[in-house]
Amino acid sequence: MVSREQAIEAAWQLFITVAPVSEVREVEARLIDGTWAVVFFKHIHSDFVESPGVWIVEVLASGQPQWFEVM
C-alpha cells in the first residue's frame, strides 16, 4: 500500500503528461477500498466562462496510476 503523498506523486506524474499544470486549483486524495482517488480540481479564470471540472486519477495499492474510468 502506498501513502497519500506517494499516491499524489504517482497521480501527478500521469496528470502532467496530458493537462496544463497552470489549470490546477486544488488536489485532494481519498483512500477508497484500497485504491487512492486523486482529484485535480480545475482553476477557473475570472474572465473566462467555463463550468467547473476535475480530473481523477486512481492509484492502485501497487502505486500504479491510471485514469479513472467514467461511464
Residue ranges making up the domain that contains 9: 4-67
d(CA 17, CA 33): 27
Point out which residues pair with 28 in neighbouring strands. Answer: 39
d(CA 34, CA 17): 25
d(CA 6, CA 48): 33
For residue 14, pLDDT over 60 is answered with yes
Q: Extract the C-alpha cell encoding 66.
A: 491510471
Q: pLDDT tens across 28-67, in order?
A: 999 999 999 999 887 766 665 555 577 889 999 999 999 9
Q: How many domains, the chain?
A: 1
Residue of 71 and 43 predicted with greater confidence: 43
